[in-house]
């Protein structure tokens, strides 16, 4: 009787390649599509193999990708133990990067699954959020993406003007006065092709502006639901933290109780320095790891710059760090980002635990 069927899956948009092994046996290779019928057939094939060898469990691993957690949900529903692996936590040799194939990738994932099952090595899995958190992320992430698209369109306008030698008469960019100048004087000073391009870009920016406002309203409505309202209110007590920053933080971080201490929070946010230590050499620190959700780092950076402008003690703390290293002011910003992220974790965790207590007593 076999103990376990282990599967390493290299998942792509339209195909997935599986390396399937029973206990310590030699793996076999199977390829499947990624449509619903193919995924269902793949899981039925694994269950059939389980019945044939009498295995007690099936352990299935695949890398986190744009496919999301849909496959993980389906595996769980089918009674298969699924694991979504973090690519940033998987060691890749230089040789592997030069000889990268789907089969080798699937074998690397299978090796990780085998180490976990047979030797108890910790699996480099990502945290799988609940379905509601995933759905809320879709809205908040779209709001950030639309704002980035608007900024990109504005940059294209500025470069179009530069290429054609058109300069604004000392107006601050993207104010109402600047926008009126673009639609009148700026347009008349361009040739036909450039004028048509500018008009198209202006329409794009105007639509994106309205879409940002619409999404802001929807994010606000989401923040006022019972799931988030008290927690967002707690986070917004920090100067420089608004509803959007709070919602980005909560939807990306998820259940704050999964972090045991501030060190884990800083590491998850990618705001801790990388470490280089070998043999007798002293431990050398490098740039921050930048692992974890980049969206949270972005809104924390914006919040810190706002706090530096309006909060005196925040500015004093920043200046003390800058005084030690005047040539690298970014270090001070990152340090204050880490402090703010940890403080938000403390406040948010207390609010979430209060919500849970209220739900249990109701």
Query: Both 106 and 29 in a single domain?
Result: yes
Nearest to 112 by CA among 101, 123, 120: 123
69 half-sphere exposure, CB direction, 13 A CA radius: 18
Query: Both 357 and 233 in a single domain?
Result: yes
pLDDT at 253 over 90: yes
Give a three-class secondary structure readout of 178-203.
HHHHHHHHHHHCCCHHHHHHHHHHHH
pLDDT at 1 over 60: no
- Which of 66, 99, 119 is the last residue in one of the domains? 119
Query: Both 110 and 151 in a single domain?
Result: no
- Which of 72, 89, 119 is the last residue in one of the domains? 119
Task: Answer yes or no: is 319 within a domain.
Answer: yes
Range among 18-22, 88-92, 288-292 with highest mean pLDDT value? 18-22
- Which of 170, 189, 223 is the last residue in one of the domains? 223
Counted domains in the chain: 3
Query: Both 283 and 172 in a single domain?
Result: no
The Cα 32–Cα 16 span in angstroms is: 5
Q: How confident is the model at residue 254 (pLDDT cuts 50, 70, 90)?
A: very high
Query: Both 212 and 264 in a single domain?
Result: no
Query: Both 28 and 115 in a single domain?
Result: yes
pLDDT at 12 over 60: yes
Q: What tokens were used for 209?
A: 């502006």
Query: Both 219 and 235 in a single domain?
Result: no
Task: Answer yes or no: is 143 within a domain.
Answer: yes
Segments forming the whole domain that contains residue 163: 131-223
Query: Both 275 and 298 in a single domain?
Result: yes
Query: Both 258 and 341 in a single domain?
Result: yes
Residue 283 is predicted with a pLDDT of 63
Task: Answer yes or no: is 124 within a domain.
Answer: no
Residue 9 belongs to domain with CATH number: 3.30.420.40
Nearest to 241 by CA among 169, 335, 148, 306: 306
Task: Answer yes or no: is 126 within a domain.
Answer: no
Q: Is the dihedral of CA 35, 41, 44, 46 positive or negative?
A: negative
Tell me how far the alpha carbon of residue 198 is from its chain's centroid: 33
pLDDT at 132 over 80: yes
| C-beta separation of 106 from 9 below 8 A | yes
Residue 290 is predicted with a pLDDT of 87
pLDDT at 42 over 90: yes
Task: Answer yes or no: is 125 within a domain.
Answer: no
Q: Quick one: CA torsion of 340, 341, 342, 346, rounded to 10 degrees?
A: 100
Count of residues making up the chain:
362
Query: Both 135 and 106 in a single domain?
Result: no
Residue 185 is predicted with a pLDDT of 76
Q: How confident is the model at residue 204 (pLDDT cuts 50, 70, 90)?
A: very high
Query: Both 236 and 350 in a single domain?
Result: yes
* Integer CA distances (angstroms), 137 to 68, 140, 145, 244, 249, in order: 12, 5, 12, 12, 10
Task: Answer yes or no: is 159 within a domain.
Answer: yes
51: helix, coil or strand?
Answer: helix
Query: Both 263 and 192 in a single domain?
Result: no
Task: Answer yes or no: is 178 within a domain.
Answer: yes
59: helix, coil or strand?
Answer: strand
């Amino acid at each position: 009787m076999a103990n376990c069927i282990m599967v390493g899956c290299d998942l792509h948009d339209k195909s997935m390649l599986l390396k399937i092994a029973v206990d310590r046996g030699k793996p076999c290779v199977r390829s499947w599509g990624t449509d619903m019928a193919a995924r269902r057939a793949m899981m039925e094939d694994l269950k059939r193999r389980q019945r044939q060898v009498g295995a007690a469990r099936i352990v299935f691993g695949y890398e986190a990708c744009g496919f999301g957690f849909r496959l993980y949900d389906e595996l769980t529903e089918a009674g298969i133990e699924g694991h979504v692996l973090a690519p940033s936590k998987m060691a890749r040799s230089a040789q592997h990067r030069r000889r990268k194939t789907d089969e080798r990738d699937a074998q690397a994932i299978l090796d990780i699954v085998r180490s976990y099952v047979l030797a108890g090595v910790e699996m480099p899995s990502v945290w799988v959020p609940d379905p509601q958190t995933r759905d809320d992320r879709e809205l908040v992430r779209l709001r950030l993406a639309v704002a980035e698209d608007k900024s990109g369109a504005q940059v294209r306008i500025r470069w179009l003007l530069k290429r054609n030698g058109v300069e604004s008469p000392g107006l601050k960019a993207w104010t109402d006065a600047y926008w009126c100048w673009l639609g009148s004087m700026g347009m008349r000073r361009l040739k036909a092709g450039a004028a048509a391009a500018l008009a198209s870009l202006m329409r794009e920016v105007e639509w994106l502006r309205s879409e940002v406002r619409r999404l802001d309203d929807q994010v606000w409505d989401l923040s006022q639901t019972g799931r988030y309202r008290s927690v967002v209110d707690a986070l917004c007590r920090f100067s420089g933290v608004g509803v959007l920053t709070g919602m980005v933080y909560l939807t990306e971080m998820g259940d704050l109780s999964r972090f045991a201490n501030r060190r884990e929070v800083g590491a998850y946010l990618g705001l801790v320095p990388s470490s280089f230590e070998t043999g007798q050499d002293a431990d050398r620190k490098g740039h921050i790891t930048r692992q974890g959700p980049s969206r949270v780092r972005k809104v924390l950076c914006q919040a810190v710059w706002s706090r530096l402008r309006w909060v005196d003690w925040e500015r004093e703390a920043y200046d003390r760090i800058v005084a030690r290293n005047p040539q690298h002011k970014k270090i001070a910003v990152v340090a204050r980002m880490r402090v703010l992220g940890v403080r938000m974790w403390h406040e948010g965790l207390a609010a979430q635990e209060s919500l849970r207590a209220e739900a249990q007593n109701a």
